[in-house]
A = this chain, B = another copy of it.
């Protein structure tokens, strides 16, 4: 798997990423990123307006680890559950060991009474880098289609 970035590796990375979140294996989640990285959750409106910030903003893996710790402490209430579905990725630029990609996503929320509804949709704007035989996110910007994303803070995208 070392060497060139392929569509297959991008597919595997995205599948593993949402699997990690949906299994609530959040302690593993920061390992999908480089130490020096950029992880942002924002809205399409803010992204289009050129705002660099977002509902969530982290530029080191350490900040992502802190975020997981905070999530774990905050979860005194029982969580609703979520399911991420990622669509098919597009590779926009592929430099061999680094690639820019876009992947659409959809998140559904399952309430305690079993009702399921669409919670969020959007697109990941990514820069992926090959590190040995693994791919890591150098940058992952989750651009949500809806501006109603404050409640998203309970889980990463």
Contacts and interface: CB of A to CB of B under 8 A. Distances in A.
What number of copies of this chain does the assembly contain? 3
Interface string A3-45: 0000110011011101100100000000000000000000010
B84 A87 contact: yes
A154 to B, nearest CB: 16
Nearest to A43: B114
A88 B14 contact: yes
A135 interface: no
A117 interface: yes
Contact of A121 (B15, B110, B113): B110
B81 A145 contact: yes
Interface residues of A, number: 43
Which 5 pairs from chain A and chain B are nearest by CB?
A: A114-B148, A15-B88, A83-B121, A114-B146, A85-B87
A106 B106 contact: yes
A126 interface: no
A108 B110 contact: no
Interface string A105-119: 110101001111111
